[in-house]
Structure 1
Amino acid sequence: MLKMNHVTGCPLRADGGYSKGLPIKDTYVQIGDGMRRVHGVLYEPVKFMAESRVGVIILHSDDDYSTFAIGPELAKRGFCALCGQVSDAEGGFDKKILDLGDTVNFLKKYEGIHKVILMGHSGGATLMSAYQSIAENGASVYQEARCLCRCTISESLTPADGVMLLDSNWGNGSMTLLSMDPAVVEEGNGMKLAPEFDLLSEKNGYSPEGCHYTEAFLKKYCEAQARRNNAVVKKALDRLTALEKGHGLFLDDEPFIVAGGAQFAPCNKLLPQDVRLAAHTKKAYDLMHADKTVTKEIVHCLRKSRPARRSTSLLESCLITTVRSFLSNRAVMAAGNYLIQEDGIEGIQWNDTYNCTPGNVRNISVPMLLMGMTGSYEYLASEIIYENASSEDKTICFSEGSGHNFFLQNGIETVPGQYGDPAKNVFDKAADWMRERFI
């Protein structure tokens, strides 16, 4: 059953804590029952208007997005926005997809809402794209023999009417690959590390002012990263086979630990440290400037180098999960040509899993908006997602100066006010895109 529990329901102050706009109200909601419940906040304009017929769902596959900025910002532009958290961030991917299904059904039945749009940010794009792919085509698209983990969902899912992917990363599986430390010598042990892969070695190209890793080091690092990643995936597949034969450590699942495998941002390797990597798009796209003018050009990243750190020996950088959860949420295979380059990433087998957004969007037909934030290295994922998207109505643009969470990226301005208020441009663009198609 769907359950809604009004707790606040009172208007926020006019500026909502972010920017001026319509007065809005926020309502706490619970969706689902039993062990599977989505907790969130529904943001709405106090006065119902034409835009309020469109409901936007904002969920992440791992994090709590209940207070994420874009919810109240879209409400102040007239839309209804439901921001929340999946019932089990550490659980299997299928459960998260079913959580999203309950949330879509909730908004579809909510009074006054005629259209439902999925908004995926960062790793949330993995969840949104996988859901829409299955809702449109059925789970069979992820049950083929080539799939690393076969989707177990048997029920029909309600498709959304559109998808917005804002500063999506390359998919949760891909981010685990990009975070995988190739220096680990013995699986499960974060203390035995090969010094040849040290990101803090000046010999390899490290500098406190900004890393310039040598071409030889980058090639060697990526080759080793791919080897270790694929070995970890194979180990998980072997354990799954044992589980299915009744030879696992437990009946249903078993622990799975990957030293130096946590995918949260401080653990990403190479990209944050060397700004020459993922530095520009391959093709020219629309770039939104501070004054709202738009130019079409090769889009360059504005990020600053983030210092590398030796974190693999710390438990916080260890991926602690289960065999089944790893395979559904985090596993992707790297091909022999895997390499991180100045204009993208080559050699990730996007189509062998449903935890990689570039593969998922090949199965989506509804209108799609992609936006990349130029203050963030993840911005470049928008290009490859756009290139793979099958939607006939697909839009891509980039926001100059925006950090990963849309607001101005600290430290990139050489002149105060150089990039204005890039977050406002992002929120306005999302609102205008929905008005053009769904009002």
Structure 2
Amino acid sequence: MTGIDREFVGLPSPALGRAGAGGHPCQGIYYTPSGKKPKTAIIASHYNVDFSEHYMATRMAERGYGFLGWNTRFRGAEHFFTLDHALVEVGVGISWLREQGVEQVVLVGNSGGGSLMSAYHSQSREPNIRPAYGRAQVFEEALNLPTADLMIYLAAHPGRPEWITKTMDPSVTDETDPNSVDPELDMFHPDNGPSFTPEFVERYRAAQIERNHRLTAWCKEQIDAMSGGPARDRIFSMPRTWADLRYVDPTIDPSNRPTPLCYFGEPKHANYGVFGVGVMSTLRTWLNMFSLEESDCVAAKHLKRMDLPMLVVQPDGDMGVFPADAQGLFDGAVSTDKDLVTLKGDHYFVEPVDARDIVADTLADWLASRTVR
């Protein structure tokens, strides 16, 4: 088996200085075949998940590629996220790879990282992301980002606003009361399903969108009301974010996923718990990351600029990223060199036992004819 070298990388951010304790805001680990400097390297990053020890890192290094598991300063702190700053910090990692002699950079958008890396490529081609609500312009360094050469989507969903909307519970009647519920929109009420009728699905999806818009309006009202005061933002919580109908109804967007189940276990238990995406946020970050109206953390608009060779890999048993998501990424991209494959596995290909090696082989085979080594 090929030996692997690992190098810790800590770099400053154009947006934030080094911490007093010594840590750099941008950090990751670079994996390479032992003693070699690959000409092609992968970079994987996410909105808030630590990718420094990503499960593909050692596997791709064993197959001859560099792999930078890269974190912006928002790892573990998505409630402070701002897209333009994150894109700049992804660019810091790409610039570092170029300095190591890398000739071809491969963007890997895993899970939520799919829309993040889509936005990165789109912005590097032509600046287009909007300033965060209440700001006059985007961060200047986000107007001139280093470019990449190829794109891989790995169990990627279409974007934070779309994902959170389809998993937020529209039966919430009072955002300050996690037990408030409208029974006519409650997916867990036995009178409603599963299986769910087309009419219920339509009403449910419309109510989810309405909840997103309602939260957007409330965030704007709160920010505007703070104008002129010493406080410019505030933390708030959003209850019940594990309520996608697909968690319990396998007939909607069919796949080999187990039901009823979501990433945090039994859906109703998870939905009424305190863990999940978007459960805590600042007003400005919610608008910048989750709002259907305000956020550019989406893939759809950026896929119109996705002209890179592109591979979409979808797990057949994913409980939170579904076949329609993968097909949407594939169909939406303007690239003329694109492929979509579905492989056995869950969201992170933990199972079956050889799933991750099969993914690595699939990526390496696809890259082989498109890259230099």
TM over 0.5: yes
Q: Could you tell which deviates more after superposition, 118-127 or 150-159?
A: 150-159
CA deviation after TM superposition for structure 1 residue 22, in Å: 1.4
| Relative contact order higher in (CA < 8 Å, ≥ 6 apart) | 2
Among residues 274, 278, 287, which one is paired with 2:253 in the alignment? 278
Deviation per residue, 1:208-233 (Å, 9 max, x gap): xxx42233432332222222121112
What's the secondary structure of 2:247's corresponding residue? coil
Deviation per residue, 1:282-328 (Å, 9 max, x gap): xxxxxxxxxxxxxxxxxxx2111024314454433572111111111
2:286 is the counterpart of 1:326: yes
2:236 is the counterpart of 1:246: no
Partner of 2:357: 424
Partner of 1:4: none
CA deviation after TM superposition for structure 1 residue 383, in Å: 0.7
What's the secondary structure of 2:166's corresponding residue? helix
Aligned partner letter, 2:2: L
Among residues 375, 388, 394, which one is paired with 2:317 in the alignment? 375
Deviation per residue, 1:42-76 (Å, 9 max, x gap): 11111427xx2111111111101111110111000
What's the secondary structure of 1:385's corresponding residue? helix
CA deviation after TM superposition for structure 1 residue 250, in Å: 0.9
Partner of 1:223: 206
Kindly indicate which of the two structures has a greater share of residues assigned to strand.
Answer: 1
CA deviation after TM superposition for structure 1 residue 30, in Å: 0.8
CA deviation after TM superposition for structure 1 residue 423, in Å: 2.6
Structure 1 runs (4+) greater than 4 angstroms displaced: 147-151, 310-313
Aligned partner letter, 1:59: S
Q: Could you tell which deviates more after superposition, 178-187 or 303-312?
A: 303-312
Percent identity (aligned): 24
In the superposition, relative to structure 1, how do residues 78 and 311 fare at CA in structure 2: closer, same or farther (>3 Å)? closer
What's the secondary structure of 2:357's corresponding residue? helix
Between the aligned partners of 1:61 and 1:235, the Cα distance in structure 2 is 24
Between the aligned partners of 1:148 and 1:24, the Cα distance in structure 2 is 47
TM-score (norm 2): 0.86
Partner of 1:30: 10
Partner of 2:370: 437
In the superposition, relative to structure 1, how do residues 432 and 313 fare at CA in structure 2: closer, same or farther (>3 Å)? closer
Partner of 1:163: 151
Partner of 1:402: 345
Partner of 2:307: 365
Partner of 1:304: 258
Between the aligned partners of 1:32 and 1:356, the Cα distance in structure 2 is 27
Between the aligned partners of 1:275 and 1:63, the Cα distance in structure 2 is 28
In the superposition, relative to structure 1, how do residues 151 and 163 fare at CA in structure 2: closer, same or farther (>3 Å)? farther
In the superposition, relative to structure 1, how do residues 149 and 187 fare at CA in structure 2: closer, same or farther (>3 Å)? farther
Deviation per residue, 1:353-399 (Å, 9 max, x gap): 42111222112222221111111151421111111112222222221
Deviation per residue, 1:1-20 (Å, 9 max, x gap): xxxxxxxxxxxxxxxxxxxx
CA deviation after TM superposition for structure 1 residue 241, in Å: 3.8
2:172 is the counterpart of 1:213: no
Aligned partner letter, 2:99: K
In the superposition, relative to structure 1, how do residues 312 and 425 fare at CA in structure 2: closer, same or farther (>3 Å)? closer
Partner of 1:389: 333
Q: Tell me if the contact between 2:307 and 2:334 (Cα under 8 Å) persists in the aligned partners.
A: yes
What's the secondary structure of 1:191's corresponding residue? coil
What's the secondary structure of 2:43's corresponding residue? strand
In the superposition, relative to structure 1, how do residues 382 and 355 fare at CA in structure 2: closer, same or farther (>3 Å)? same
What's the secondary structure of 2:326's corresponding residue? helix
Aligned partner letter, 2:258: K
CA deviation after TM superposition for structure 1 residue 203, in Å: 1.7
Q: Tell me if the contact between 2:256 and 2:317 (Cα under 8 Å) persists in the aligned partners.
A: yes
Among residues 85, 108, 119, which one is paired with 1:130 in the alignment? 119
Which 5+ residue runs of structure 2 have no aligned equivalent? 19-23
Q: Could you tell which deviates more after superposition, 75-84 or 372-381?
A: 372-381
Q: Tell me if the contact between 1:149 and 1:353 (Cα under 8 Å) persists in the aligned partners.
A: no
Among residues 32, 39, 64, which one is paired with 2:27 in the alignment? 39
Partner of 2:84: 94
Partner of 1:72: 58
State the superposition RMSD in angstroms.
2.5
2:296 is the counterpart of 1:354: yes
Partner of 2:21: none
Between the aligned partners of 1:23 and 1:217, the Cα distance in structure 2 is 55
Number of residues of Structure 1 aligned to a counterpart in Structure 2: 350
Among residues 140, 144, 168, which one is paired with 1:180 in the alignment? 168
TM-score (norm 1): 0.74
Among residues 235, 240, 252, which one is paired with 1:255 in the alignment? 235
Partner of 1:315: 274
Partner of 1:107: 97
What's the secondary structure of 2:275's corresponding residue? helix
CA deviation after TM superposition for structure 1 residue 191, in Å: 2.5
Among residues 176, 185, 190, which one is paired with 1:197 in the alignment? 185
In the superposition, relative to structure 1, how do residues 87 and 144 fare at CA in structure 2: closer, same or farther (>3 Å)? closer
In the superposition, relative to structure 1, how do residues 131 and 148 fare at CA in structure 2: closer, same or farther (>3 Å)? farther
Between the aligned partners of 1:177 and 1:144, the Cα distance in structure 2 is 22
CA deviation after TM superposition for structure 1 residue 136, in Å: 0.8
